[in-house]
Amino acid sequence: MSAAPPSGDSDSPSRDEAGTWLAFRVLASADVLSDVEDEILALAGETDILGTSREIWLDPASAAAVEGGESRAESRAGECLHVYLAREADPQRVAADLDEILEARFGSNVRKTGRIRIEPISIPEEDWATRWRDFFRPIRVSPRLLILPAWWKDADTPEPIVLRINPGRAFGSGTHATTRLSLRFLERLVRPGRSVLDFGAGSGILAFAARALGAGRVVAIEVDEDCLENYTENARINGVETEIDYRIGSSERLALGEVFDLVVCNALFDRVSPHFEALVEHLVPDGTFLYSGFLVSESETVTERLESLGLTVEQRENMEEWQAAVARGGVEDNLGLRTEE
């Protein structure tokens, strides 16, 4: 469970200002450490926990003693778990999930007694780049769409559409529920030759999918210029360097009169909703607006916002606590054009 990163925000929630990535250290007595790890790994398939590793932990007081000449064996040292989060994870939500499953297994007082402790830690970005490869595995989005790590060996697969992604710093590896929801809807909505706008493109994964599904003109807009390098690498890996118009900026990068058959946006509601009006203005009459990245609990608010812009929500789909919605424009759009009746 996590919060999808917002369009217009340069960093996902699990990355701090110092260029490090947040994770958790779990300290537990030796007799329960393996059981704790099993519980966390069981949770990994349902949340943005990628995996764990065993590490040697030395408490700060003991570390000072070691520096003072004591041997490590005489100091308090032992194994602990490092819990690695997806880049788009919300650490507070993951911490709440950890509390819930550990209390269910070991009792409500387990944290109070100190038998199990959970601490946030920071992983240097260069170390995280290596760790990521340990956890990123192929993701089967649907029977016809597969996401492969860029470094994964070629293999014969039954999926007709294979996207290769090197996550880098940009959001959009396919691990997050909101990305998978977007991809599944794109499969149903993209038709050969249709024009597509991916707003808040990150790594470019949705734009790549749209192109692979037969879209004609594809424009991708991302506010974070640090994503450009990662996008460029992924575009090369997928052989679409010249087939997608990737722009750094926000809705102001759309030209007057530039319209699209389909607009897709995967971002947190409070961050991207101010751009909805501009995006709808660039939707053809009776065009399709695919929005993912909002919580199920926000569904009514999202519907009201889209309907206020003349759109009608026609489809919804949930995954974990997230929802995606497909809305369609009316017969008259904000450019003053009308659909032929």
Max Cα–Cα distance, the chain, nearest Å: 86
Residues 144, 149, 152: CA angle, nearest 5 degrees: 100
Round to whole Å and give the CA distance between 259 and 280. 9
Is residue 52 within 8 Å of residue 42, measured between CB atoms? no
Burial of 20 (0-12, 13-18, 19+ CB in 10 A): middle
**CA dist 324 → 178, 187, 190, 301, 316 (Å):** 7, 14, 16, 13, 6
Which residues, 6+ apart, have CB-to-CB distance to 212 below 8 Å? Answer: 161, 163, 238
pLDDT, residue 63, reads: 46
Which region, left, alpha or beta, applies to residue 58 given φ > 0 means left and ψ of -120 to 50 means alpha?
Answer: beta
Considering only CA atoms, which of 49, 157, 8, 32 is closest in space to residue 107?
A: 32
| 3-state secondary structure (DSSP) of residue 117 | strand
pLDDT, residue 226, reads: 81
Residue range 56-79: average pLDDT? 54
pLDDT 10s digits, 162-193: 888 876 654 556 677 888 999 999 999 999 99
| 3-state secondary structure (DSSP) of residue 206 | helix
Residue range 201-224: average pLDDT? 94
Residue range 225-234: average pLDDT? 89
Which residues, 6+ apart, have CB-to-CB distance to 299 below 8 Å? Answer: 316, 323, 325
Tell me the DSSP string of 304-323. Answer: HHHHHTTEEEEEEEEETTEE
Helices (H), 107-170: 125-135
The answer on pLDDT for 37 being more than 50 is yes
Residue range 114-142: average pLDDT? 75
* Residue 291 pLDDT class (50, 70, 90 cuts): very high
pLDDT 10s digits, 233-259: 999 999 999 999 999 999 999 999 999
pLDDT 10s digits, 259-272: 999 999 998 898 89
Which residues, 6+ apart, have CB-to-CB distance to 85 below 8 Å? Answer: 2, 14, 21, 22, 23, 24, 48, 49, 50, 91, 94
Round to whole Å and give the CA distance between 231 and 229. 5
pLDDT 10s digits, 294-327: 999 999 999 999 999 999 999 999 988 899 999 9
Across all residues in the chain, what is the average pLDDT? 80
pLDDT, residue 298, reads: 96
Strand partners, 238: none
Round to whole Å and give the CA distance between 232 and 240. 9
Domains of the chain: 20-129 (3.30.70.120), 169-329 (3.40.50.150)
Of all residues in the chain, the percent with pLDDT exceeding 70 is: 74
Model's pTM, two decimal places? 0.69
pLDDT, residue 51, reads: 74
Q: Which of 78-82, 204-208, 276-280, 282-286 has the lowest mean pLDDT?
A: 78-82
pLDDT, residue 337, reads: 38
The answer on pLDDT for 144 being more than 70 is yes
pLDDT, residue 159, reads: 63
